[in-house]
Amino acid sequence: MRILAFLPVCLLLCSTSSAQIPGYVPTDGLIGWWPFNGNANDESGGGNDGTLYGPEATQDRNGTANAAYDFNGISSHITIPNIAVQGTAPRTYSFWMRTSNQVGGMMLCTGSGTNQNGGTFNIRHGNGGQFTGFMGGNFTAGGYDYDPPGNVVVNDEQWHHVVVTYDGSILSFYIDGSFEKATTLSLFTAGQTNYVGRANNQLPEMESWYQGKVDDIGAWGRVLTPQEIMELFNAFSDTPCLSPTAASFTGLAGGYVLSDGPTTLSGTPANGLFIGSGISGNTFDPALAGEGTHGISYVVMDEDGCVSSYALCTDVTLGMGIQGSNMPTGGVRVFPNPNRGQFTVELDLEGLVSLQVFDAGGRIAHTEVFQAKGGQTMRILDLGALAKGTYNLQVRLGENSVSQRIVLE
């Protein structure tokens, strides 16, 4: 997850999002992409959504909650509709995994036949922790082939990126972006339900369950190039991890008016970066930010390259809200806001005051004039008969005026 993830909730509420394939994922020949973002949906647009059978949502390699799945090695698995490449056609499978289990387990089982004699294209880690390919043959006669294990041990409780390609005759493994091994194989796969975390178990003695975590499975109907494989790995390698040191900052008020001057912000730990509208260095300028709700984030990177962030929201209004006034002769305060039509206008003015409420079309919805005698004056307005929406409250005293948006819910 990248720094965009640190945008505060107040900004996210004003936007919409939809699942899409990350830019680093090759789309040429893409069959399916399962990022496990809280579900097993295929976000490639192919509609090959997976079905969960017991795996628990867990943190991914970036520390993001509910962004990977943890398999218990006994019964939990995921089924995916038939996305298997048929026959001897080229193919590529990619995923991230993390395990410390010393007993080998099936990571991905795909392309099985419709009976126990059907060929399979499987990816598993052996008892020694290295990856092997498994090509199923005549199970009833005990005929099946294991590809010899590689050299890289992956059951070290660290996240590893695994890519397996088959070009019709050569099976190749890549671990963490680097070529691991290759072997010549002859296989012919047919279509059937695919499994993550288990074998297809057509015979009890062939059961194989994976214990550990899996994330970001991709499938292609072609052989990815070494450069594409390296880009898949590097796209995650340069993603900041989450720092255990909490970040925070002070100095930002809950609301401002456009005429308020810049305010200085102070972040902890020091030497972080402030991000958001109206930010210049470590200052927030309401006039620069403009009217509206703004999210301000403070992002710090520690010595290990891990990131921590903290975010707050503030409102900037045209006129005086509850934080102060741009009227030299006094102040105006409106509460509650939003409201259900009944609210109080608190004034600290002296002189003949005009109070008007305008609807979104600029039409006057309410007006009154009164003599303010100085000190605190309370005016209670009842606009419950008006339609729900946003209105503009305008208070005038001589040539001075303030405006405040009022929201009727």
pLDDT for position 146: 53
Q: What is the pLDDT of residues 111-150, one digit of tens each?
A: 654 444 445 666 766 655 555 554 443 333 344 455 556 6
Please tell me the distance from the alpha carbon of residue 311 to that of residue 22, in angstroms, as a whole number: 25
Number of residues written out for the chain: 409
pLDDT for position 232: 92
Please tell me the distance from the alpha carbon of residue 269 to that of residue 30, in angstroms, as a whole number: 43
Q: Is the peptide bond before 204 cis (omega within 30 degrees of 0)?
A: no
pLDDT for position 322: 35
Beta strand spans in 207-330 (E): 211-220, 248-250, 255-257, 263-264, 266-268, 273-275, 279-280, 283-284, 292-301, 307-317
Output the CA torsion 199→112→133→234 (10° steps). Answer: -90
SS3 assignment, position 177: coil
Nearest CA to 41 out of 18, 62, 64 is that of 18
Band (pLDDT 50/70/90 cuts) for residue 384 is confident
Q: What is the pLDDT of residues 211-254, one digit of tens each?
A: 899 999 999 999 999 999 999 998 754 455 677 889 999 999 88
Phi/psi at 317 (nearest 5 deg)? -115, 165
Please tell me the distance from the alpha carbon of residue 67 to that of residue 324, in angstroms, as a whole number: 44
On the question of pLDDT at 338 being above 90, the answer is: no
Phi/psi at 175 (nearest 5 deg)? -120, 125
Q: What is the pLDDT of residues 55-105, one digit of tens each?
A: 999 988 877 788 899 999 888 999 888 776 777 889 999 999 898 876 666
Q: What's the distance, Cα to Cα, between the start and end of the chain in Å?
A: 37
Q: What is the pLDDT of residues 41-50, one digit of tens each?
A: 999 888 889 9
**What residue type is 150 in one-letter code?**
G
Burial status of residue 102 (CB atoms within 10 A of its CB: 0-12, 13-18, 19 or more): exposed
The β-bridge relationship of strands 91-98 and 160-166 is antiparallel
Q: Helix, strand, coil % (nearest 5) of the chain? A: 5, 45, 50
The β-bridge relationship of strands 178-184 and 248-250 is unpaired
pLDDT for position 54: 94
Going 130 to 35 to 235 to 248, the CA torsion angle's sign is negative
C-alpha distances (whole Å) from 119 to each of 69, 135, 137, 235 are 27, 7, 6, 34
Q: Return mean pLDDT, the chain.
A: 77
On the question of pLDDT at 4 being above 60, the answer is: no
Which range has the worst mean pLDDT, 6-15, 78-87, 166-175, 210-219?
6-15
Q: What is the pLDDT of residues 283-329, one digit of tens each?
A: 999 888 888 888 898 988 877 667 788 998 888 876 543 333 344 43
Query: What totals of helices (H) and strands (E) does the chain contain, helices first?
Result: 3, 31
Rounded mean pLDDT of 373-384? 82
The β-bridge relationship of strands 255-257 and 307-317 is parallel
pLDDT for position 276: 85
Task: Kindly report the pTM of this predicted structure.
Answer: 0.55
pLDDT for position 202: 53
- Ordered by where they begin, the domains of the chain are 25-237 (2.60.120.200), 248-317 (2.60.40), 331-408 (2.60.40.3080)
Nearest CA to 197 out of 57, 75, 37 is that of 75
Nearest CA to 78 out of 95, 64, 101 is that of 95
Band (pLDDT 50/70/90 cuts) for residue 364 is confident
pLDDT for position 325: 39
Band (pLDDT 50/70/90 cuts) for residue 36 is very high
Token reading at 62: 């970036």
Could you tell me which residues come within 8 angstroms of residue 351 by beta carbon, excluding any fewer than 6 positions away?
Answer: 329, 371, 372, 397, 398
On the question of pLDDT at 165 being above 80, the answer is: yes
Q: Residue holding tokens 């900004």?
A: 11
Token reading at 393: 């409250």
The rounded Cα 152 to chain-centroid distance in angstroms is: 31
Which range has the worst mean pLDDT, 108-112, 245-249, 332-336?
108-112
Say if CB 273 and CB 295 are below 8 A apart.
no
